[in-house]
């Protein structure tokens, strides 16, 4: 699996409200390109580009700015990722979207070193395999996980009922009648849930409940699927590559100075640290980034 594909799969969904458009969005940006997935619950759109496409599009949309592709990618990461993590975050950019034929164009306008900066994400309909990978299979995995969780909770309730029964047979008396409960009957509970709770519980709406409440489980399921896939490939190939660091560890956005040149005096852009990194800012090095060990599901 390519770096951008796997990196995008491991990202959570975010909810984005643009005027009358409610969108579910996930993005993964590195110094070599980006991948973007957008859905309005009716369709799914996707764009994946490398540094050469970024460079060409930046020249077309920002004729006064000249910079390495990694510099523009750093700026897009600065604009997009905080917004996706927190929709109340005061974004420095303006986002709009347009439907052009079957495509979706997400337009971004901001400033870069005092000059206007424009960017268009050209998203085309996602392939069925991509929809399956990011939605169908994870949602099936989440459903199975939640079903297993319900069974475990039902077992725990039955054990609690037996414990209460033992107390009662030993002469224990409940001091407060309002705390009294009936023995748990799983079938009756499920029937009552289907009638009384299901309509409200399965109200998808604009996708916001899914984004708000279930992303931890979504990411856990996708990580588990990636881990199983890597172990399977490692068993087939019988090569030590299965224990290598996760794809993208070396290519994640690194500290990148951005020298912007225009017809006016040259402009410099502050150095950008990679997403998820910490520590003092340093100038970029050509040496390889230290590999990280593959992390487990709940590590």
- As to burial, measured by CB atoms within 10 angstroms (0-12 exposed, 13-18 middle, 19+ buried), residue 216 is exposed
Residue 36 pLDDT = 96
CB-facing half-sphere around the CA of 19: CA atoms within 13 A: 7
Report H helices in the chain: 3-9, 51-61, 69-85, 128-131, 137-169, 186-196, 198-201, 208-213, 215-237
Distance CA 43, CA 239 (A): 40
Residue 89 pLDDT = 62
Residues 6+ apart with CB under 8 A from 63: none
> Kind and range of the H or E element at 118?
strand 115-125
Query: Per-10-residue mean pLDDT for the chain, 299 residues long?
Result: 85 89 93 94 95 94 89 92 74 86 93 88 95 95 94 94 92 88 90 88 85 92 89 66 44 44 40 41 42 45
- Starting from the edge strand earliest in sequence, which strands make up the sheet with 115-125, in order? 14-18, 21-30, 33-39, 44-50, 115-125, 103-112, 94-100
Q: Nearest CA to 218 among 4, 7, 12?
A: 12
CB 27 within 8 A of CB 21: no
CB 70 within 8 A of CB 61: no
Residue 227 pLDDT = 87
The backbone region for 279, taken as left when phi is positive above 0, alpha when psi lies in -120 to 50, beta otherwise, is left
- The residue length of the chain stands at 299
Residue 282 pLDDT = 42
Q: Nearest CA to 115 among 267, 238, 12?
A: 267
CB-facing half-sphere around the CA of 174: CA atoms within 13 A: 9
Q: Nearest CA to 47 among 15, 25, 69?
A: 25
């Amino acid at each position: 699996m390519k770096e951008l594909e796997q990196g995008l799969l491991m990202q959570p969904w975010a909810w984005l409200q643009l005027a009358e458009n409610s969108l579910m969005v996930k993005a993964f940006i590195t110094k070599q390109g980006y991948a973007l997935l957008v859905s309005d619950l009716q369709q799914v759109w996707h764009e994946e580009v490398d540094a050469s496409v970024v460079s060409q599009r930046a020249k077309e949309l920002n004729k006064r700015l000249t910079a390495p592709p990694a510099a523009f990618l750093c700026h897009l990461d600065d604009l997009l990722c905080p917004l996706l993590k927190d929709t109340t975050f005061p974004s420095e950019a303006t986002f709009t979207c347009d439907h052009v034929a079957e495509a979706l164009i997400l337009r971004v306008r901001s400033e870069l070193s005092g000059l206007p900066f424009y960017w268009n994400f050209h998203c085309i309909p996602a392939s069925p395999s991509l929809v399956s990978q990011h939605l169908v299979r994870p949602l099936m995995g989440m459903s199975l996980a939640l079903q297993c969780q319900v069974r475990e909770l039902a077992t725990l309730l039955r054990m609690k009922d037996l414990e209460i029964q033992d107390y009662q047979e030993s002469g224990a008396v409940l001091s407060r009648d309002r705390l009294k409960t009936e023995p748990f009957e799983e079938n009756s509970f499920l029937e009552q849930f289907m009638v009384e709770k299901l309509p409200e519980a399965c109200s998808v709406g604009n996708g916001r409940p899914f984004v708000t409440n279930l992303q931890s489980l979504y990411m856990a399921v996708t990580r588990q699927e990636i881990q199983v896939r890597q172990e399977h490939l490692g068993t087939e190939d019988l090569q030590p590559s299965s224990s290598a660091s996760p794809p993208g560890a070396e290519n994640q956005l690194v500290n990148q100075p951005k020298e912007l040149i225009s017809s006016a005096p040259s402009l410099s852009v502050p150095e950008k640290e990679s997403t998820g990194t910490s520590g003092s800012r340093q100038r970029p090095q050509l040496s390889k980034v230290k590999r990280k060990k593959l992390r487990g599901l709940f590590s």
